[in-house]
Structure 1
Amino acid sequence: MSARLAAIAPSATLAVDAKAKALKAAGRPVIGFGAGEPDFPTPQYVVDAAIKAAADPANHRYSPAGGLPALKTAIAEKTLRDSGYEVDPSQVLVTNGGKQAVYQAFAALVDPGDEVLLPAPYWTTYPEAIRLAGGEPVEVFAGADQDYLVTVEQLEAARTDRTKALLFCSPSNPTGAVYSPEQTAAIGQWALEHGIWVITDEIYEHLVYDHTVFTPIVRAVPALADTTVVLNGVAKTYAMTGWRVGWMIGPTDVIKAATNLQSHLTSNVANVSQRAAIAAVSGTLAAVEEMRAAFDRRRRTMVSMLSEIDGVVCPTPQGAFYAYPDVRGVLGRTLRGRTPTTSAELAAIILEEVEVAVVPGEAFGPSGYLRLSYALGDDDLVEGVSRIQRLLAEAE
């Protein structure tokens, strides 16, 4: 096996989800907080568009590697509608899900030895994609005391003459943190002044709460358009995780290079999925509003219940569908004869003792934290967190 692939860490979030599903299939009453996907079905109008597309022989053949022209146009129109700035369809590349967009963005921009500033906690795939491109992730950590939001001062302290790019994710996976318009503009202006590329993941753009405003970094700092790659997709907004449609938006030369890579890597995204995506991004946001209302209700319940646990600090997430409690106050205390010293050990105890699956902070950066998705039914959410409450109440 190549050293390059042998060095890749498996996706911790998918591993936790798979273990929870396996235990559940074996008859165990496991409740899983690991999955980063909506628990709602894809809107029916999107499914209907796919059914229609499947019957059309035009969709049974290869199509352009960079995406159906109609979808690229629809994404450009959606960007103007939702983000407030214009892009040409030639600046859009349709990918097999958001993960392919992440990988190809780093592959297109990063050379061996380049450093990429990576605010932590971060989504587990980012550092692996950076390393696959030959780059070096440089973690910039912001804890619960900062609501998991890094500052310009922290970024500047981490910058070197090898810094090539900044990964910017707002709303954030795993923390649910959302940068304010002012914070976004300050970070964007800092990147512009220092000639640093920005790779911005905006896949949770429509999942914000409490009157929080999502701010596209290119809208905040328009001059960044020539040195920014935007990552997005239909997975979270339209409950389409399994359809595998994402996209990149960026300068035409970067998009052309990434399209060339994709032509050898996978060729086109499945045409039926692309036709479904056209219906999704061209339609209203009524379906996502219904999901957002449910997520908001669950968010409030989860944060309230987690905050009742002695030793747990849980900032209120303003976006996405994750809570990211700080559990360092629980570590070092004895639970049913075991004394966890890391969040990975604590997560294992929670799964084994009360059959609740959570993702430890080690998957996203430093130990001492847990990620819980609230994209699951209300009853399961309350039961799962109640089990954690009862277990941690025993800590000595």
Structure 2
Amino acid sequence: VLGTLVLRGLLRPFVWNAAAKRQTFYAVFLLAATFSYWLGYATPFRDNILVDVNVQPWWLLLVAFAGLLVLMAIVVLARRRIAWRYRPRYPTLRYSLTMFALALAFVYGLGAATILGAVPGTSVALPPLVLMDFAPLLILAAFASAGRKFFDFLETHVATSAWFLALSASAVAGSVVATRVLIPYRHIEYLVVPVALLAGLGFFRLLDLASPSRRRRTVAVAAGILLLAGNFAFAIPPPSFVAGWNESTPPVAMEGVLWARGRMGGLVAADHMASTALFGFGGVNATWDTTVAPFFATTWAGAEPGLVSIPSPSGVRNATYVWLDLVETQGVELRVWQPAVPMSPAAIAKFDDSPFIKVYDDGYAQAYLIAWGCDGSC
């Protein structure tokens, strides 16, 4: 909403009419509600995540954001003195093909950078096969560059462009100053929505400009459908492609999660994926990435420090249970900017001894109650 107001004010002189008033008041409400929630209500986020930035003191980023809002307002108001307004030109076939080629080179260049270096904001380098796995998505996304100019002739072009630019700016800011707060690669799942709108328009407008025969147009549309099908088939890459992370929760995991609902209280020590399922579907407080030792220590003595006074999202407390499952043992997923690391056989075996008491086992997942006050000799 805010981006739409600013972009519209840059493209043409800003007019303070009824629509602008509604949008401005709504933007102010959204900003106030958002910051009230994250700073006032979601205190674990504020205390443990928001401070993890590359600028100290951390609140300087909030000051900079407020300054940016003031600067944008000044620019939009000053723009009212300039009579010029943006008038789009209908793109040619040559221009659209050039933009498509440049976009394709850019996304593949960015992909190559994640292979030769690392994914921005992480220590994860991807294997070369990733470029093949995501080829359908990258090719389709490149059509967005060809479709952007066409979007200028639609009523919603400002909102869509602002949507894309705001998310892109957030990803860039995350890469520079807040890689663990505004995690850059996690913007992709949101960016693909406006990109899909632009790409769909770009694909068919390119066909219109090329004026192919009916047969060639049918072949082109069939190729587009194949790209979509390929995107569906490879949408969830195997763990070996993404640093050991499993990008989906298998259906078999739900059996244990639903068992935990209403049966497990307190805090459950689990990795990121298991915590998400336990909290989201089981209503159980979990640890996510706030403790490490329980999963890799080979003895109770090594695991115990990671089970007490855990700064979990639900508050600082001791763990009541430990949750393991097949995916977790094959690769413990903790911090999203680090590779998943498998548990050793000795680390898994320690849960067979006191003070851990197995209270659930469905062959895929196991839950262990921690018998506090009982040392390893019980």
TM-score (norm 2): 0.25
Indicate the structure with greater helix content: 2
Query: With CA pairs under 8 Å and 6+ residues apart, which has the higher RCO, 1 or 2?
Result: 1
User: Greater CA radius of gyration, 1 or 2?
Assistant: 2
TM-score (norm 1): 0.24
